[in-house]
Every structure is written in C-alpha cells, then in structure tokens.
Structure 1
Amino acid sequence: MTIPVILDVDTGIDDAWAIWSALRSPVLTVLGITTGYGNADVETTTRNTLLITELANADVPVVPGAAKPLWTPWEGPVPDFHGHNGLGDAELPPVFRKPTPGDAAQFIRETVRAHPGHMTIITVARLTNLARALLYDPELAPMIRQLVVMGGAAFCPGNVTPVAEANIWGDPEAAQLVLSAGIPTILVGLDVTHQARLTRDMVEGMRRNDPASQLFYQATRFYLEAYRRISPVFEDWCPIHDALAVFVAEDPGLVQTERYPVAIETTGRLTRGMTVVDSRSGPYPPSPVEVAVGLDEPRFLNAFLSRSGFFPNPV
C-alpha cells in the first residue's frame, strides 16, 4: 500500500526537486499539490509547479492558494536564491497544463475529509495554506495521519535571522497555529537539511539530454552559486532542504528524532519566527512534534540521486 499525500509548495529550486522526487516515488501517491507565495509570488510558484508536473508526465491536481501570510504583509520573493522566475532564471519551456480551479485550503480540507486518518501532508513552504484549512475546519486536525514540515531551526542558527528559518519566519502565526493543533508531526528543519548536501561535482555530473534534466541542471547551478555567495561554508555544495522532507515522509527512519514541546515566537522584535524547543527535562505531557536532529546522509543521498534519473553514477 502506498501513502496518500498532499504536497504544499512555493516552488523554487529545492521545491522542484521535492515535487520531482514525490512524483517518482514508489511509496507515495500524490493526490494533489497546493501552492502559495514564498520563494516567488503564488502565480509564479503555481506555474513552476505545473511545469514540473508536466515534465514528469504526472496528471496531478495543482491548486493555487495563499498569496500572503495569514495576518501580516508579505515580505516579497527571494530572487537572490531562486532567481526572478523561481527556478534560477533557467530558460523555461512553455506550460500547457492549467491549475485546478479552487483554493488550496479548501482542497486540503476536502481531501483529508475524503481520506480520514490516512492522509500525510508534506509542507515545504510557509504553513499558510494548512493553517487556513484548520481555521476553516477546526475538526480537521485529528483526521490528518501525519504532517512532515520542512521548517524550523531547533538547535542551530536560522537562515533568515539568527534564530529563524525561512518557512517559519515567513508566517509565524500560521506555523504556531499548525504546530499547536495536535497533528503528529515530524519537523525537518535546518538541523538536518544542512546535512542533505548536493555537491558541485554531483551537479556537474548530471546528464543534460532532455528538457527536465536541462532545467534541473541550470536551476541547481544557480542555487549552488547563491549559497556560495552567502558563506564560504557552502563553497562546493548546497542543501536540498525540501527534497529531504519528501524522503522522510516515506521513510521516517532516515532521520533521528526527539520529541519536544515546540512553539513559534510570533511577537519578539529579534526573535520573531524562532522555533522554540523546550528541551528541559520534566513531567511534560507527550508532544505530537518529533524534531529531526540527525540524518543518515549516505542513505538519503543514494535514494535521492537514484530516483531523480539525472545522475549517471549515484553514490
């Protein structure tokens, strides 16, 4: 039996890898992909998502969603990391598929209610779409089997501020609402995604003989250079954050997790968007949030490289 999933994205470069990996998974059945603002505006992320599904020859509903955070203005796209078109300014072919009519939050609600107790939701974007679904339908949370969130910086620095990771920082109110809803959750944050490393040598070894491989090669080279510019730590590699969440959804044993009470700071001038993990010992009630703290990187990379079909010699 496969695992039915909804994938929630803001399709930039690592989202594209996540979508590609999910659509080619022998374990996951993608019932729909919901889109939102983040790496680019929702119109661009929706177009990029449709493009990846088209290149994968996957007939999957793509449902547009939030254009801004729940209650605050949107800070705008991040072209420094994802280019002005969200895919590293790679030359993009025309897209012929159209988005599915409707709204992402409503699609999440209807799909979960159609499969109560069976759905896994993988979020690799701001948590606005899922938060809106929970606000519309307060009885929805217990019907979700599993939530895998690419987001947070539990025991490491953030990547937008010293303490905040981008997907949480982008809508902390939504993140707090979702993480306090009682859904069984694996938090796949920077603590482990910075161990999911795609090296320059791997990228240069990609085949480039069809539209999909050419797009992923061009986009990922841009991503490598974007990371190299921000820190010498990333001299010859980039993290593929979002793809890791997909592989964790199908094989949670890829990561070592520890269960903690987790909250998101929403008001602090310096700490807004911080993932607050209560690691004190004490008689606390069981938390539904498992925080990923370690990764079996060789096993992940072997699975990721092999599944993509772009690397002639997977590790």
Structure 2
Amino acid sequence: MTEQPIPVIIDCDTGVDDALALLFAVRHPGLDLRAVTCVAGNTDVDGVVRNTLTVLEVAGAPGIPVARGAERPLIEAVRVAAHVHGQDGMGDLGLPAPARRPVDVDAVTLLRREILASPRPVTLIPTAPLTNIALLLRTHPEVTRNIERIVFMGGAVATGNATPVAEFNVWHDPEAAAILLTAEVPITMYGLDVFQRVNVQGADIRRLRASAEPGARLAGALLAHRPSAPEPDGDDPSGGLGDAGAVCAVVDPAGLTTRPLPVEVSLAPGAGRGQTIVDRRPRPGEAEIHGGAPQRRHLVDVGLDVDVERYVKLYLETVERDQDRS
C-alpha cells in the first residue's frame, strides 16, 4: 500500500534557499504542499510574495495558494539580507514577474484555513523569521490540534551568522521565535549547525544549470549564487542547500540526527539578543538547584548532525525528476 503524501505548509521569506526549498517541496511525491505563506526577512514582504509566485510558476505548480503575511517583526524593524540574496531576494537573476497574484486573505487566515481543513495533521515548515507562525499560534491556538509537527529552519547550537551567537531568522524576530518554542506540538530545530553543512558540488550545479527543464535550471542558478565552504572563492565552488535541507528532513527524518533538548531564546537587549540557548548539560546545574531557573522547560528535537550525501542525493533526484512521471 502506497503511503499518502505528508500535508505540508511552508512559511518563507523567499530568498535564494527558500526558493530551493519550494522547488523540492513541489516536486517530491511524498509531500502535499497545501499552501505557502510569506513574511518579511530576506527581502521585503512584497518581494517575498513576488519571488514565491515566480518560483511556483517556474516549478510547474502555479495553483498552490500563496498569501502575504507580516511586513515587519513583532517589535523590531525590518532588516533584510540583500547582501546575501541580492536586491530582489533571488540573486538578481532577472526572473520574470509572476502571472498571478496572491490569494485575497492574509497569511494567518490562510494558515488557519488550510491547517484545519486538512484531512490529516499538517507539518509546518517555517524557513523564515517566525512572525506569521507566532501570530497564528496566539490568534488561533486551536490549530495545534491538527499540526503534526513544526520543522523550522532557525537557531544555532554553536555559532550564529547574524551575530556571533544568533542565527538570522531568530535574530530577526526573537519574540516570535520564543512564542514558537512554547507551542504544544512537536518541534524540530534545523539550525545553522546542520544548515551550513549540506552543500551541492560544482559538477552537479553545472549539470542543473545546463538542464532543459526550467525548474532544474533555476535550482542550478540559485545554487551557483550561494557558494559555500570549504572553498567559496575557488574555481569550482559548491552551493549550499540551506533552507531546502529542512524540507529534506521532513521527507527523510532519518538523515538528521536530533536530540530532545531544552531551547530558549534570549530576548534581552545586547550582544546575546536572538541567541537560541540550547541546554546540552547531562544534569542540572547550580541555577536549577538553587531555584533560579524555570522548572518547566519545553523540549525541542535539535538537529546536531546530518547525513550530507544522503540529503544532497535526495535533493538532486527530486528536482531533476521527470515531470511527466511526477
């Protein structure tokens, strides 16, 4: 008996690697992408909507509903990442404007509608600042009864990228991330510790860029815009899958090594704001012993290791699928 596809909703700030995630999600037969919601982050929210619609059209999936969401974080001002994603958020590739518009409801309304209407519990995949998700959980807490899991790209156990300790998505809206982490649903954190490791090699990128199929060709162009370690300035740099790895983890969770750990977000002003504080200690410390730490702490399945070759193979096989057989 064939397993039913997993119903998923992606909340994104498209974004080069969000676009890679969308290309994968619409092409993998094990996923049923029910909706995409947009939030300010890598670029402004109107740019995110435009980019999302364009990617879905290029991927051959124009019918998926797309909604405009929060245009700024709950408290902070918008701080886009044009230095990473280009002025248009899509590597300044000169992609065409989309032929359609977003749906006529906001992101939170679309999220609620699609989650509650799904005949099976939905997996939410936020690959962006968590503003939309926080607003959803605070406005419509009843949705948690039909959420299977939230797999979010964000946070870091070790080193940040927006600051020495904070990852961009969480740093962009720390209060929203703090709300997410207290949700009464299973949560997986696909943070920088695994995010930065899943890279596609130059030969594969060249093959994608030479493809006659528009979606695969776009994936190649996006990967070429994201040169990654170990030699980003070499003759044949690899390209990071980034957010797409979180979607791979939904399809193939066995490729991601996780541990259930307490995670909190630092909300205080200063150098530590936006840090995801992951408690890996084997036993309580003095703060708990002397009553200075919270007694109830939410556990999150934190990604600590990833099978790089497995996820790269999964991604390439998916985006290069014969669309007549998909």
Preserved contact between residue 108 and residue 136 of structure 2 (Cα < 8 Å): yes
Residue 90 of structure 1 is aligned with which of 88, 93, 102? 93
Give per-residue Cα distances to partners, 1:166-213, cap 9 Å, x unaligned. 111110100000111222011001111122112333222322435434
Report the secondary structure of 1:241's partner residue.
Answer: coil
Report the secondary structure of 1:205's partner residue.
Answer: helix
Report the secondary structure of 2:141's partner residue.
Answer: coil
- How big is the shift at 1:106? 1.5
Residue 117 of structure 2 is aligned with which of 114, 135, 143? 114
2:71 counterpart of 1:70: no
Residue 305 of structure 2 is aligned with which of 269, 291, 294? 294
How do 1:1-315 residues align onto structure 2 when only pairs under 5 Å count? 1-58=4-61, 59-75=63-79, 77-115=80-118, 118-154=121-157, 156-206=158-208, 207-224=210-227, 236-282=237-283, 287-309=298-320
**TM-score if structure 2 supplies the norm length?**
0.87
**TM-score if structure 1 supplies the norm length?**
0.90
- Using the TM superposition, name which of 94-103 and 164-173 deviates more: 94-103
Give per-residue Cα distances to partners, 1:98-151, cap 9 Å, x unaligned. 111111112112222223861110010011111000111233334311100011
Preserved contact between residue 224 and residue 239 of structure 2 (Cα < 8 Å): no
Q: Work out which of the two has the higher radius of gyration on C-alpha atoms and give 1 or 2.
A: 2
Alpha-carbon distance in structure 1 between the residues aligned to 2:42 and 2:321? 24
Give per-residue Cα distances to partners, 1:240-284, cap 9 Å, x unaligned. 111111111122111010000111111140111101111223478
Alpha-carbon distance in structure 1 between the residues aligned to 2:103 and 2:200? 33
* Change beyond 3 A, Cα 1:178–1:133: same
What 5-or-longer segments of structure 2 have no aligned partner?
285-294
Preserved contact between residue 5 and residue 29 of structure 1 (Cα < 8 Å): yes
Which amino acid in the other structure matches residue 309 of structure 2? P
Which amino acid in the other structure matches residue 68 of structure 1? R
Report the secondary structure of 1:256's partner residue.
Answer: strand
Q: Percent identity?
A: 35
4+ runs deviating over 6 angstroms:
283-286
- How big is the shift at 1:91? 1.8
Preserved contact between residue 10 and residue 35 of structure 2 (Cα < 8 Å): yes
* Change beyond 3 A, Cα 1:138–1:234: farther
* Change beyond 3 A, Cα 1:175–1:234: farther
Give the equivalent residue in structure 1 for 2:290: none
Report the secondary structure of 1:261's partner residue.
Answer: strand
Alpha-carbon distance in structure 1 between the residues aligned to 2:207 and 2:218? 14
Give the equivalent residue in structure 1 for 2:287: none
What 5-or-longer segments of structure 1 have no aligned partner?
none
Alpha-carbon distance in structure 2 between the residues aligned to 1:287 and 1:70? 22
Which amino acid in the other structure matches residue 264 of structure 1? V
Which amino acid in the other structure matches residue 318 of structure 2? R
Preserved contact between residue 59 and residue 214 of structure 2 (Cα < 8 Å): no
Q: Kindly report the root-mean-square deviation, in angstroms, between the aligned alpha carbons of the 2 structures.
A: 2.2
- How big is the shift at 1:16? 0.6
- How big is the shift at 1:291? 0.2
